[in-house]
Amino acid sequence: MMNIPKLHKDPNGPSPFILLELPESKTSAKIYTFGAHVVSFEVDEDEKLWMSSLSVLDGSGPVRGGVPIAFPQFADEGPLTQMHGFARESTWDVIEGSSSNVTLGLKDSDETRAKWPHSFSLLYEIKLLPKGIVLHLKVRNTDEKSFTFSGCLHTYFKFDNALGVALHGFRKTAFADKADRRKEKVQDGPIEVKKEADKSARDAGVKHGFVDRIHYNSPNNFQFIECNSGKVLYNICQSDSWTDTTVYNPYLGDKQGPTFPDFDDDGYLYTICCEPTLSERNAITLDPGSEWEGKQEILVPEN
């Protein structure tokens, strides 16, 4: 008999939520059934995921922050008009779980088929580790014909000072710089937000830049490290099946002001996204009955 985790009511949220805990390591997570959205991941009572204070939380739109799921389309790279697809704005079923892990599921419906005419099944397992979390997405083709999809786990990492950290692991990797007309470039060292945003602004001939790049066929192990102290803040590992990685921070050139009402104007100071990605370039075609799966693992070192 499957165990079904308890659903908690949230009068200020878009749906009920599941709370996962590993008390012995003081590790916890909160997941809404709306979007199967991980909105909190704490270690030692310290939040590790950034959430916008302006995020829509009434179910009328996607939640800003945490870990949104993009499926069946990454960003605007595909036929759907809905940015990042519909998975992050759908209500998922709770399949099974325990006090420290849960699996949620989403299947096609009349509503999804009106947007994307395919039958599918998604399973998403969130599992706590001591000082860590594993996010495991499975996609199955339940249709009678093949389909092609892209997507990502849009993980918003939280920092006390995002401008004082560097993301290591991308040296000599090719990327498309969306802050500079999608020009293809090669990363020459760790990614620091201000340095990279200013470089993209100079290249694009604009006053303020931002960081938004897709690293194609990227490595799968990364570290966020404080620049001054050398302290490792996060160790990140993703499966090879996530062929690409997206890195994002709006800095001063993106998601500012009233045209982006769900993103704090000072949000760039506190978050950097490091997203396991299937871009349109490396989109997956699944035959009927076939399955794809991808994982992201986040560990918080003891320093």
273: left (phi over 0), alpha (psi -120 to 50) or beta: beta
Q: What does the alpha-carbon distance between residue 154 and residue 65 come to, in Å, rounded to a whole number?
A: 8
- Residue-level pLDDT at 17: 97
Per-residue pLDDT for 1 more than 60?
A: no
What contacts 208, CB < 8 A, 6 or more positions away?
Answer: 197, 201, 251, 252, 253
Question: Whose CA is closest to 240, among 213, 221, 224, 214?
Answer: 221
CA–centroid distance for 220 within its chain: 15
In tens, the pLDDT along 37-62 reads 999 999 999 999 999 999 999 999 99
Token digits for 290?
A: 């076939």
Token digits for 174?
A: 């090719």
In tens, the pLDDT along 167-198 reads 999 999 999 999 999 999 999 999 999 999 99
Question: Whose CA is closest to 62, among 97, 98, 95, 87?
Answer: 87
Average pLDDT over residues 290-299: 98
Kindly list the distances between the CA atom of residue 139 and the CA atoms of 71, 215, 289, in Å, as whole numbers in the listed order.
10, 22, 10
Average pLDDT over residues 206-233: 97
- Residue-level pLDDT at 63: 95
- Residue-level pLDDT at 146: 98
Average pLDDT over residues 3-29: 93
Average pLDDT over residues 50-77: 95
Residue whose entry in the numeric block shows the structure tokens 């990279």: 196
In tens, the pLDDT along 110-152 reads 999 999 999 999 999 999 999 999 999 999 999 999 999 999 9
- Residue-level pLDDT at 50: 98
Which strands form 120-129's sheet, in the order they lie side by side? 93-97, 101-107, 120-129, 132-141, 291-299, 232-238, 221-226, 165-168
- Residue-level pLDDT at 254: 86
- Residue 234 pairs in a beta bridge with 224
